[in-house]
C-alpha cells in the first residue's frame, strides 16, 4: 500500500472521530457489548460485521442515542455523548426498514430534519434539491413512499439521513431489503456518495461480501466483542483467529501440532502416516503447540497428475463438485477422512475437464498460502 | 371460489333474517297511515312530518348530539394517550394491573358504572345535566377508544418515531408530526365508536341525566312505556338510515383507499 492511501488508523497523530472506551452494555443479565474499546476515524467507511445477536446493532443504537452504555464512555469528536439526546446529536441514522414517513412525500421526507432546524425556506429548498440530485430522485419528489420502488425508497432514506450533513452517518443493514443485483449496484453508489460528501459512515451488516466491498475497515464481532479490526484484504488474508477465518469467506482448517523448522517456518504434523505440512508464520509457535492451518480454497491447486516441487502435497478423491459457472469448488476427501476444498477457475469448457467425481487427484499449496492460527 | 351450496344459502338466509326482520318491520310500520302500530292502513309519511313538530324529541336529539360529540372527543384524547403510554412505556411496576384497569369498564355491568357515577356526582354536589352525562360517557367509552388505538400502535413501526427523534424532533414533536398522522385512521374510528356508543346509551345516561337534560334513548324508552307510537318508528328509521349511510360510506372509502394504494405500489414496482 502506498503512503498516500487513506489509512488514518495507522497514523499515531490522527485523532479519532468516535472513541468507544471500555463500553459495556447489559440488558438485564444479557451482555450485549462486553468491555469494548475502538477508534473510528473521520471519513472512514467502517463496517460492523457479525452474526445476529453479536451486538453490532446495539453499538449503532448507542451512537444514535437510543441506548446508553451501562459502563464506559463514547466520545464523538472528543466529547462524551452520553448526556446528549438523539435529537441533539450530529449523528443521523438510516434505518433497516428505512422508516420513511408514509404520510409525507419524498420531498417532505428529505426536508423533515431541515425543518426541525428552523432553516430558512430557500435554504431548505436548495438542500433538498441537492439531495434529490445526489440520489437521482428528482423525478420522484412529489411521490409518497408507497408510490416508489424498494430501491428508490432506499435512496430516499439515504437522502433524508444525509440532508442534515451529519458528522456521522449510521447505516443499519441498509441493503438488506434489496435483491442481489440491485444490492451490488447500490453498494457502489453508497461508496460514491460517501466519497462525495466526505461523511463518516458506520455500517452494520451480516453480509460479509457487502462489508468487504464498501468498507475501509471491517470489525468482525462476536458475543459483544470485537474479534478483529482490519482492512478487508487483511481480514481475508491474515485473519487473527479461526472464528474470523471461518466467518469471512470459505476456508479449510487443518488442526495439528507445530514444530519450529527454521526462521518463521514450521512443520505441522496433522494426521498419522501423512508427511507434515509446511507453513510460514511471523507469529511464534512453540514446539508441540496446538495450531490450525487456515487455507483459502482458491489457494489450493488441484491436479490430475502429481506435480513436482511443491511445498505441500496431498492426495485424495473428489467427493463433490460445486459448479458456479466461472469457478468450481471441489470437495476432496483425503485418506484420513478430512475434506479439503479446492477452487479452480473454469478456464476450459467443462467437457474438457480432466477429472470428475470419484477421481483421484493431487492437491498442493505453498508454505505461505495458509495462515497459522493458535485458536 | 366455491358456488353457494344449499346449506350455505339456508344458513345465510336464516342468519340475516334473524338480524334484520325486526328492523324491517319497524321501518315498514313507520310508513303506516294508521295510528295503531299493528294494523296496516296504507302508505304515508305523515309521522315523519309530525316528528319534526315534536319539540321534546327534537330537544332530546340535540342534547344527545351534544353529549355524543363532546364525550367522544374527550374520550378519544384520553383513550389515545392511555393507549400510547401503555404500549410505549415498556415495563414498569404494575403495568399489567394498569392496562387491565383500562379495559375493565368493557366488561363492567353498565348498571354498576351508572350507579357509581351517580353516587360520585351526588357526593361532589354536581347537578345532573349535560355535563354529567358527558363525563359519564367519556368514562366508559374511553376504554373502547384505547382498545382500538392500542391495537394499531402494536403494529406501529417504532423506528418511525426513532427516525423522527434522530432527525431532530422532541418526543412531543415526534408524536404530533409522525405518530399521530399515521395512526389517525385508528383514532378516527375510535372516535366514531365512542360517538355511536354515546348515541345509543340508555342505562348510564338514565343514571346520570337530570330533569334539565334528557337524551333521545331515554325519551324513546319512556315514550314506549306509554305505548309504541308510529312517531317512534319514524324516529328509529331515521336513526337506522343515518347509521347505515355512515357505515357504508366509511367502508367504501377505506376500501377505495386500500385498492388505490395497492395499485400505486404495483405501478411503482413495475416502473423500477
A-B C-beta contacts closer than 8 Å: 79
Asked whether the beta carbons of residue A146 and residue B265 sit closer than 8 angstroms, the reply is yes
pLDDT digits (tens, 9 = 90+) for A314-365: 999 999 999 988 999 999 999 888 999 999 998 888 777 788 888 999 999 9
DSSP-assigned beta bridge partners for residue A318: A332
End-to-end alpha carbon distance in chain B: 33
pLDDT digits (tens, 9 = 90+) for B13-33: 999 999 999 999 889 888 888
Judged against a pLDDT cut of 70, whether residue B1 lies above it is answered with no
Three-class DSSP category at A350: helix
Phi, psi dihedrals of residue A286, rounded to the nearest 5°: -90, 165
Residue B36's pLDDT band, with cuts at 50, 70 and 90, is confident
Strand arrangement of the beta sheet that strand A339-345 belongs to:
A301-303, A360-365, A312-323, A327-333, A339-345
Asked whether the beta carbons of residue B163 and residue A99 sit closer than 8 angstroms, the reply is yes
Q: Which fold has domain A8-245?
A: Rossmann fold (3.40.50)
Give me the residue spans of the domains in chain A. Answer: 8-245, 250-373
CA distance B29 to B46: 12
Q: Which residues of A touch B (CB under 8 A)?
A: 64-66, 85-88, 91-93, 95-97, 99, 101-103, 112-113, 116-117, 143-144, 146-152, 160-161, 164
Chain A nearest-CA distance from B133, in A, is 37
Q: What is the pLDDT, as a whole number, of residue B272?
A: 61
Q: How, if at all, do strands A79-80 and A71-76 pair?
A: antiparallel
Residue A4's pLDDT band, with cuts at 50, 70 and 90, is low
Question: Cell numbers 420522484 correspond to what residue?
Answer: A140
pLDDT digits (tens, 9 = 90+) for A232-266: 999 999 999 999 999 998 999 999 999 998 888 89
Percent helix, strand, coil in chain A, to 5, is 25, 35, 40
Query: Closest by alpha carbon to A110, among B167, B169, B178, B177?
Result: B167
| Of A64, A99, A116, Cβ closest to residue B157 | A99
CA distance B218 to B210: 11
Query: Closest by alpha carbon to B51, among B245, B231, B215?
Result: B231
Q: What is the pLDDT, as a whole number, of residue B268?
A: 77
Question: Cell numbers 511443491 correspond to what residue?
Answer: A310
| Of A92, A150, A151, Cβ closest to residue B167 | A92
Q: Kindly report the CATH class assigned to B62-226.
A: mainly alpha
Best residue in A87, A146, A167 for a mutation probing chain B (most B CBs within 10 Å)? A87
Average pLDDT over every residue of A198-220: 93
> What's this model's pTM, rounded to 2 decimal places?
0.82
| Of B165, B178, B267, Cβ closest to residue A101 | B178
Judged against a pLDDT cut of 90, whether residue A19 lies above it is answered with yes
Task: Enter the ipTM.
Answer: 0.83
Identify the closest residue of chain A to B157 by CA–CA distance. Answer: A99
Query: Between residues 189 and 228 of chain B, which touch chain A (CB distance below 8 Å)?
Result: none
CA distance B91 to B97: 12
Q: Does B262 touch chain A (CB under 8 A)?
A: no
Asked whether the beta carbons of residue A95 and residue B163 sit closer than 8 angstroms, the reply is yes
Asked whether the beta carbons of residue A87 and residue B167 sit closer than 8 angstroms, the reply is yes
CATH code of A250-373, in short, is 2.40.50.100
Q: What is the pLDDT, as a whole number, of residue B95?
A: 82
pLDDT digits (tens, 9 = 90+) for B149-206: 999 999 999 999 999 999 999 999 999 999 999 999 889 889 988 998 898 899 999 9
Judged against a pLDDT cut of 90, whether residue B223 lies above it is answered with no
Identify the closest residue of chain A to B179 by CA–CA distance. Answer: A101
Amino acid at each position: 500500500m502506498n503512503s498516500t492511501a487513506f489509512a488514518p488508523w495507522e497514523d499515531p497523530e490522527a485523532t479519532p472521530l468516535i472513541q468507544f472506551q471500555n463500553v459495556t452494555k447489559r440488558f438485564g443479565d444479557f451482555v450485549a457489548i462486553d468491555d469494548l474499546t475502538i477508534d473510528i476515524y473521520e471519513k472512514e467507511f467502517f463496517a460492523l460485521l457479525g452474526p445476529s445477536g453479536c451486538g453490532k446493532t446495539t453499538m449503532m443504537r448507542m451512537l444514535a442515542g437510543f441506548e446508553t452504555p451501562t459502563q464506559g464512555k463514547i466520545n464523538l469528536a472528543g466529547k462524551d455523548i452520553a448526556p446528549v439526546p438523539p435529537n441533539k446529536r450530529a449523528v443521523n441514522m438510516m434505518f433497516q426498514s428505512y422508516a420513511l414517513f408514509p404520510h409525507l412525500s419524498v420531498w417532505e421526507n428529505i426536508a423533515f430534519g431541515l425543518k426541525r432546524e428552523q432553516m430558512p425556506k430557500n435554504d431548505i429548498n436548495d438542500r433538498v434539491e441537492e439531495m434529490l440530485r445526489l440520489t437521482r430522485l428528482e423525478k420522484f419528489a412529489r411521490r409518497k413512499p408507497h408510490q416508489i420502488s424498494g430501491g428508490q425508497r432506499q435512496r430516499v432514506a439515504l437522502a433524508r439521513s444525509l440532508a442534515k450533513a451529519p458528522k456521522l452517518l449510521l447505516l443499519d443493514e441498509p441493503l438488506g431489503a434489496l435483491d442481489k443485483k440491485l444490492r451490488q449496484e447500490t453498494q457502489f453508489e453508497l461508496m460514491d456518495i460517501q466519497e462525495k460528501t466526505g461523511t463518516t459512515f458506520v455500517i452494520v451488516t451480516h453480509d460479509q461480501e457487502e462489508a468487504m466491498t464498501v468498507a475501509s475497515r471491517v470489525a468482525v464481532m462476536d458475543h459483544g466483542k470485537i474479534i478483529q479490526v482490519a482492512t478487508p484484504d487483511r481480514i481475508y488474508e491474515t485473519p487473527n483467529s479461526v472464528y474470523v477465518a471461518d466467518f469471512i469467506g470459505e476456508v479449510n482448517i487443518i488442526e495439528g501440532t507445530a514444530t519450529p523448522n527454521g526462521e518463521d517456518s514450521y512443520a505441522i504434523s496433522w494426521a498419522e502416516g501423512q508427511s507434515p505440512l509446511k507453513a510460514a508464520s511471523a507469529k511464534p509457535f512453540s514446539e508441540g503447540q496446538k495450531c490450525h492451518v487456515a487455507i483459502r480454497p482458491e489457494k489450493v491447486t488441484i491436479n490430475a497428475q502429481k506435480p513436482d516441487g511443491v511445498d505441500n502435497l496431498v492426495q485424495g478423491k473428489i467427493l463433490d463438485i460445486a459448479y458456479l459457472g466461472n469457478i468450481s469448488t471441489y470437495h476432496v476427501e483425503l485418506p484420513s477422512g478430512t475434506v479439503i476444498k479446492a477452487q479452480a477457475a473454469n478456464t476450459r469448457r467443462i467437457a474438457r475437464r480432466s477429472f470428475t467425481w470419484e477421481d483421484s487427484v493431487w492437491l498442493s499449496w505453498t508454505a505461505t498460502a495458509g495462515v497459522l492460527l493458535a485458536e | 371460489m366455491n358456488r353457494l351450496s344449499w346449506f350455505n344459502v339456508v344458513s345465510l338466509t336464516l342468519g340475516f333474517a334473524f338480524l334484520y326482520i325486526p328492523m324491517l318491520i319497524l321501518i315498514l310500520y313507520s310508513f303506516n297511515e294508521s295510528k295503531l302500530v299493528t294494523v296496516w292502513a296504507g302508505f304515508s309519511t305523515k309521522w315523519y312530518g309530525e316528528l319534526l313538530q315534536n319539540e321534546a324529541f327534537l330537544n332530546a336529539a340535540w342534547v344527545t348530539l351534544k353529549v355524543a360529540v363532546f364525550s367522544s372527543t374527550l374520550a378519544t384524547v384520553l383513550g389515545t394517550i392511555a393507549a400510547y403510554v401503555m404500549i410505549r412505556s415498556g415495563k414498569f411496576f404494575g403495568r399489567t394491573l394498569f392496562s387491565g384497569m383500562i379495559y375493565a369498564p368493557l366488561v363492567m355491568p353498565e348498571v354498576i358504572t351508572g350507579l357509581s357515577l351517580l353516587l360520585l356526582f351526588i357526593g361532589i354536589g354536581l347537578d345532573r345535566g349535560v355535563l354529567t352525562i358527558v363525563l359519564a360517557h367519556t368514562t366508559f367509552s374511553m376504554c373502547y377508544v384505547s382498545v382500538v388505538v392500542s391495537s394499531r400502535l402494536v403494529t406501529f413501526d417504532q423506528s418511525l418515531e426513532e427516525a423522527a427523534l434522530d432527525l431532530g424532533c422532541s418526543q412531543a414533536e415526534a408524536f404530533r408530526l409522525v405518530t399521530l398522522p399515521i395512526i389517525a385512521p385508528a383514532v378516527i374510528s375510535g372516535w366514531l365508536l365512542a360517538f355511536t356508543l354515546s348515541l345509543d346509551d340508555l342505562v348510564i345516561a338514565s343514571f346520570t341525566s337530570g330533569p334539565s337534560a334528557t337524551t333521545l334513548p331515554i325519551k324513546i324508552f319512556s315514550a314506549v312505556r306509554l305505548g309504541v307510537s308510529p312517531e317512534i318508528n319514524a324516529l328509529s328509521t331515521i336513526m337506522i338510515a343515518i347509521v347505515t349511510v355512515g357505515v357504508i360510506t366509511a367502508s367504501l372509502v377505506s376500501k377505495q383507499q386500500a385498492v388505490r394504494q395497492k395499485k400505486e405500489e404495483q405501478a411503482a414496482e413495475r416502473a423500477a
